[in-house]
Amino acid sequence: MRLEGKRAIVTGAGSGFGAGIARAFLAEGAKVMIADIAGGMAEAVASRGGGIAHQVDVADGRSVARMAERAQDEMGGVDILVNNAGITHLPGAMEEIDEEDFDRVFAVNCKSIYLTARALVPAMKAARAGTILNVASTAALSPRPRLNWYNASKGWVVTATKAMAVELAPVGIRVNALAPVAGETPLLKRFLGEDTPEMRAKFLATIPLGRFSTPEDMGSAALYLCSDEASMVTGTVLEVDGGRCI
């Protein structure tokens, strides 16, 4: 029970990596708000694991504020925040990506971290304790062609993580990031452009361990960084990528 007594919010937890992280936290004793823009998917995860389902648009400040208020009302506060919600644009030449797609990628992948910090960091500062985990990507460290603006958004996440860690360390708040390679999630098809055996084989050939990241991989890594076992770890970006970035 490595997170016994802890209260967590995991965004994008209705499926994929977020669901894996939420399940790992629940199994280790945490109270978990399973937050997702798809309320039905959040409910499905919560019904199986016992968390609190909450529908949220992480790119909307009022929606994030309501999430924080409900977490305070129903859990008594938040000790752990996992900013996992993310999207990508379809592969394409950088100059051909629609402005609407660009704006949405940066709103969900970047602005959301600002909004959750604005809503939740003040209480963490008052408690002089807390853990924030941002989900970046190997795309931030080893960018892939034709995903330029997604790569850039995840690079932003890495820099934001390190800046947050430096600023918040004096008040007892740790901030880290995970950098997964693509996995069996709803985003895989958009990363690949088309989900075919040939495209999968081509991508897997770039991963030394020869497989995608799984929700369980992410859950285990998140559990470590958000537990007291990592009490001396802040500002780090942990690659969960099977060697992709070597």
Residue 244 lies in a domain: no
pLDDT digits (tens, 9 = 90+) for 25-46: 999 999 999 999 999 999 999 9
Can you give the pLDDT at residue 184? 72
Domain that includes residue 77, residue range = 7-185+214-237
Provide the b/e sequence for 44-81 (b: ≥16 CB within 10 Å): bbbeebebbbbbbbbbebebbbbbbebbeeebeebbbb
Hey, which residues does 239 pair with through a beta bridge? 179
pLDDT confidence of residue 26: 97
Q: Identify whether 150 is a catalytic site residue.
A: yes
The CB density around residue 10, as the number of other CB atoms within 10 Å, is 36
Confidence bin at 189 (pLDDT 50/70/90): low
How much is the mean pLDDT over the chain? Answer: 94
pLDDT band at 75 (very low <50, low <70, confident <90, very high): very high
Of 168 and 183, which is predicted with more confidence?
A: 168
Is residue 192 situated within a structural domain?
Answer: no
The catalytic position among 150, 154, 183, 222 is 150
| CB-based burial label for 210 (10 Å; 0-12, 13-18, 19+) | exposed
Is 159 contained in some domain? yes
pLDDT at 190: 64
Residue 87 covered by a domain: yes
**Matching residue, tokens 């390679």:** 181
pLDDT band at 151 (very low <50, low <70, confident <90, very high): very high
Q: What pLDDT was estimated at residue 186? A: 66
Q: Is residue 2 in a domain?
A: no
Does residue 203 fall inside a structural domain? no
For the segment 101-111, the average pLDDT, to the nearest whole number, is: 98
- Give 52's pLDDT tier (boundaries 50, 70, 90): very high
In a domain? residue 195: no
The number of distinct structural domains making up the chain is: 1
What is the domain-level CATH number for residue 150?
A: 3.40.50.720
Question: Counting Cβ atoms within 10 Å, is residue 218 exposed (0-12), middle (13-18) or buried (19+)?
Answer: buried
For residue 144, the model assigns a pLDDT of 86
**Residue 43, domain member (yes or no):** yes
- Determine the average pLDDT of the residues in 51-66: 98
